[in-house]
Chain A
Amino acid sequence: QKEVEQDPGPLSVPEGAIVSLNCTYSNSAFQYFMWYRQYSRKGPELLMYTYSSGNKEDGRFTAQVDKSSKYISLFIRDSQPSDSATYLCAMRAQNSGYALNFGKGTSLLVTP
């Protein structure tokens, strides 16, 4: 079993919809959780960084971490065509030397 599971999609939504992206994980030692956005042929861009459980909001993006369920989510409100990209979740444990465990990425398409 892979440590981080993420549905690859593709996920297609109309412009303005609320998007929900999710990852599950198996390693209870993970404490730092990240979401990255990657456009085609570009490097990943850090969107959200959270520590332990709880919610974090930044503009149209909200990250949620539920450590009891080993489940993290990224919500995108008022989705735009420019949000069309691959979204990668990543996480690491406290003393892991900063190496990240990535999900496979979810491909999102927001249609006008």
Chain B
Amino acid sequence: GAVVSQHPSWVICKSGTSVKIECRSLDFQATTMFWYRQFPKQSLMLMATSNEGSKATYEQGVEKDKFLINHASLTLSTLTVTSAHPEDSSFYICSASQEPPGAQYFGPGTRLLVL
């Protein structure tokens, strides 16, 4: 149980385009989902926390207009990178909390490369 999927796993796009990443909890309902960014050989950096039906809470330094998050249902959250630039290239990972016990379960990640 507690499986989280992400789609796509890999995306290459041109600078200036927008990219949408989906995160789904497959076998449980997730009131809260999280979006992280990870650079090579570094730990996870929390970008935002999203709760179903409400606006996401962004971490300091994360541009909310650039990284749009929509948590439309208890099993789906999306992250849209708007007007992507090469510096947005990174590994994006989502997680979902299952209650109980309140642990976070991570998706497999999406590798974004902006040319």
Q: Which chain B residue has the least Cβ–Cβ distance from A105?
A: B43
A32 to B106, CA, bound (A): 17
Chain A nearest CB: distance from B21 CB in Å? Answer: 12
A88 to B38, CA, bound (A): 13
Footprint of B on A, CB under 8 Å?
A: 32, 34, 36, 41-46, 49, 51, 88, 90, 92, 97-100, 102-105
Chain A nearest CB: distance from B46 CB in Å? Answer: 7
Q: Given A88-B43, A99-B34, A99-B46, answer yes or no on A45-B106 (Cβ-Cβ < 8 Å).
A: yes
- Which of A41, A45, A99, A104 makes the CB contact (< 8 A) with B43? A104
A88 to B45, CA, bound (A): 13
Q: Within 8 Å of chain A (Cβ to Cβ): is B105?
A: yes
Q: Within 8 Å of chain A (Cβ to Cβ): is B75?
A: no
A36 to B103, CA, bound (A): 11
